[in-house]
Structure 1
């Protein structure tokens, strides 16, 4: 299957691949609604040019198939824009078209509008969709406001990897999901909004699950990304980006409260606005534990317990090692490179499509993101081959993807998702387990 890139905008409210019925005749043609008004516009299409059609006057035979409808290349188009071929004005008249051009995708010598999903003798598929949260955003804005994890320094990238060895004869299951092994302990994705804070959201998400698992369900907090965004300020930039190593250092040394206690304040696209001040500090209380020094910013919540973790560790990039760690200790955190088509993901097993390679660099930009891997699986393709995938939780809310989650090809380091994977243990004492 062949899929379109973002083009000029991340999302455009189009239903471009819906076929429209059309009659060959043109009765009262000038009163008909324009094709571009019904969601079909691909001003880059070479229709008149490819057939070398520029008929004089009104000629009903001067017509071409156009996405399930009919478009015309005669000079009668100079009186109307109802059903003219998209390149009539620039090819036949040498003037710009009378409606704003919207880029599509070139495939097999034909232009298709954005947001469509097209089959092309392919056996690997994922579905693109229209996400209202991204309406009006350019690709540059999507990268600037919806990601926010700064790629680790070379020193951090070279940190020692913990290698997990499978026991002799040990076979991992073909499918696994953390929420099935640890019901009620794996938390649903949050929404970072237009805050470039995936560094804080993914860290809080993984720590929430791991604290819950390692305390055997005695503690089940949804940890506060806002606590990290506002209070972890050492070489961090809040909603303008941050580093994973700094986030884990803060969780280990300072700790954070729950999201109920310190809820996310949200952020509009206003980089000039001041960052929210830190409203939650902690102090040592012995044996490495810490306690809050203020009440919850949410005045309706009294529980301001501080949650901490042990030092973070890096896993090997072999998918079997990541799988074993995930199955034994809980979800893990992963870096990934987000390309233009990931914003359009709606479902299926994602892999980056190369259709934008021939376009200018501004349409091919990508940025670093961080997510929570929660499981894996595999599907059998029509030709009998097996397609393996990870399941992961994003931080773009439940309306994106598969209820806030996505699947991505496993075992080939798709979008660098296996290149830097982190695990951690929740700091859980006997008193946290109810023992004194």
Structure 2
């Protein structure tokens, strides 16, 4: 059965070298290489459906003009993937195509692909591309294994917001990046792999930066997501999802060690056996501080310092309040809804393009994720209008997006990114300022 991968299929694997199923004496039937070099260009097109054409077996007459060449609506085309008409799978087989519907946007009844920028006709300001980590994964699997933040309960969503007020005459800069204000204290994104643990990765990422900033650089840990995944088990599900409020409770009450001390075990999806047991515990030392009661799971590391935070607080969802908090106290954590096109993000200023509106629900699924917002900026469009954006770190490794980061439209609650934003203070005492 065909499944719908997140990345565009590597049609080039066949690219003229092998025509699967072709027998001696038969000519190869393929689309001209230029047409499928970057994936079928108009995957949203209707060919078989318009002609009501679906043939059994191999029927070379079962063909239609297609972008200067021909495509087929017979079962034989299914063997090469390269010469089926774009809607063959949907219309003739009733299954999802082995590549996602075209990533582009509609203007005047025409779909403009993502392979170019169409300043006048298209409302897209970002580029899509292949991301090898997602090859062969269905959209369902991407949502199940690459996200992993459970939407907060209504009581947590109603958490009291801390309002920040700009002083009279105070103006925020048009651009800001945490790594420029606090060099060497803002950590690079980690990779959660196929562990649905963004709840632990984004929490550890924000806490790492804030402990570093609030200790004035005396402590610069990369905190351990695995410590949270394995030990924060009350109402949490490790690599099958978790809640942000539970993660921050654990960091405040129990604390975690560094990623170096307790490295990520990188559990793959559907791996047999139970989740890895908790290998790090802590005990109270007085004045709210805690110390580890076990050696580092990484036997080569001796430093098992426990890092803690104060209670997390929620910011107002006005972008200027989030900006002021970010600029004064460091990166913040944000919830966001991830749609099918976000997996293919390669660069630029992302906004969700509902190209799959009107298609079956399986193409339009989305899930909740959490990320670290690190800054903001704005870009001037050719028509002179300004496009405001956030910069944020994801947890899908450095090969995704802009070196593991992305930009997303700011000020309009794009993908709910401004709806639930949290800050926290690193728990730093005078004694912590004396040693690294």
Question: Which TM-score applies when normalising by structure 1?
Answer: 0.82
Q: Distance in 2 between matches of 1:43 and 1:99?
A: 8
Per-residue deviation at 1:46?
Answer: 3.5
Change (3 A) 1:323 1:24: farther
Per-residue deviation at 1:265?
Answer: 0.1
Change (3 A) 1:403 1:32: closer
Change (3 A) 1:91 1:24: farther
Change (3 A) 1:249 1:386: same
Q: Distance in 2 between matches of 1:212 and 1:331?
A: 11
Q: Which segments of 5 or more consecutive residues in structure 1 lack a partner in the other structure? A: none
Change (3 A) 1:12 1:264: farther
Per-residue deviation at 1:45?
Answer: 4.0
The answer as to whether partners of 1:3 and 1:116 remain within 8 angstroms in 2 is no
Change (3 A) 1:41 1:23: farther
Per-residue deviation at 1:369?
Answer: 0.3
Change (3 A) 1:27 1:377: same
The answer as to whether partners of 2:77 and 2:84 remain within 8 angstroms in 1 is yes
The answer as to whether partners of 1:315 and 1:322 remain within 8 angstroms in 2 is yes
Per-residue deviation at 1:122?
Answer: 2.1
Kindly provide the CA deviation profile for residues 87-140 of structure 1, in whole angstroms up to 9, marking residues without a partner as x: 799999999999999999988667899989877712541000101100111111
Per-residue deviation at 1:286?
Answer: 1.2
Q: Distance in 1 between matches of 2:198 and 2:90?
A: 44
The answer as to whether partners of 2:6 and 2:99 remain within 8 angstroms in 1 is no
Decide which moves more: 194-203 or 268-277: 268-277
Kindly provide the CA deviation profile for residues 389-421 of structure 1, in whole angstroms up to 9, marking residues without a partner as x: 000000000000000000000000000000000
Q: Distance in 1 between matches of 2:427 and 2:93?
A: 72
Larger radius of gyration: 1
2:174 matched residue in structure 1: 174
Q: Distance in 1 between matches of 2:94 and 2:207?
A: 61
The answer as to whether partners of 1:8 and 1:103 remain within 8 angstroms in 2 is no
Per-residue deviation at 1:355?
Answer: 1.1
Q: What SS does the aligned partner of 2:13 have?
A: coil
Kindly provide the CA deviation profile for residues 50-73 of structure 1, in whole angstroms up to 9, marking residues without a partner as x: 689999999999997633545699
Kindly provide the CA deviation profile for residues 365-403 of structure 1, in whole angstroms up to 9, marking residues without a partner as x: 110000000000000111111100000000000000000
Decide which moves more: 351-360 or 54-63: 54-63
Q: What SS does the aligned partner of 1:392 have?
A: strand
Change (3 A) 1:165 1:45: closer
Per-residue deviation at 1:80?
Answer: 12
Decide which moves more: 128-137 or 10-19: 10-19
Change (3 A) 1:144 1:344: same
Tell me the number of residue pairs that the alignment of Structure 1 and Structure 2 aligns. Answer: 436
Q: Distance in 2 between matches of 1:110 and 1:21?
A: 35
The answer as to whether partners of 2:334 and 2:417 remain within 8 angstroms in 1 is yes
Kindly provide the CA deviation profile for residues 282-331 of structure 1, in whole angstroms up to 9, marking residues without a partner as x: 00111111110011000111100000000000000000000000000000
Q: Which segments of 5 or more consecutive residues in structure 2 lack a partner in the other structure? A: none
Question: Which TM-score applies when normalising by structure 2?
Answer: 0.82
